[in-house]
Amino acid sequence: MSHTSEWKSRVYLFEEDRTTKARVELDTGTTKLTGHGTAHCNPTDADVPEIGDELAAARAMEDLGSQLKRLAYGDMEAAETRP
């Protein structure tokens, strides 16, 4: 069985007051999921926006990955219970 698909994703980053927030949106064509992540700059650290972007985006992707796994596990369970 051969299968090809394209999933679309977008990453949005917002920084304010040494806090970076990330939102990752995934559209599989049949399902839309959104992951969220936050990074806070320690007051004693230098303000390097790229680091905040990376951490917040990574955390949002981890959140999205967890949601995607839960979705897959639910689909697996449903497939096993079909007559």
Query: Would you give the distance in Å from CA 45 to the centre of its chain?
Result: 26
Q: Are strands 19-27 and 8-16 parallel, antiparallel or unpaired?
A: antiparallel
DSSP 3-state of 59: helix
pLDDT the model gives residue 19: 96
* Mean pLDDT in residue range 54-59: 98
Identify which of 80, 43, 39, 74 has the alpha carbon closest to the alpha carbon of residue 59.
Answer: 39
Please list, in sequence order, all residues whose beta carbon lies within 8 angstroms of the beta carbon of residue 76, skipping any fewer than 6 positions away: none
More confident residue, 14 or 46: 14
Q: Which helix (H) or strand (E) holds 16?
A: strand 8-16
Q: For the beta carbon of residue 9, count every other beta carbon within 10 angstroms.
A: 13
Over residues 14-41, the pLDDT tens digits come to: 999 999 999 999 999 999 999 999 999 9
pLDDT the model gives residue 47: 87
pTM passes above 0.75: yes
* pLDDT above 90: residue 81: no
Q: What is the mean pLDDT of the chain?
A: 94
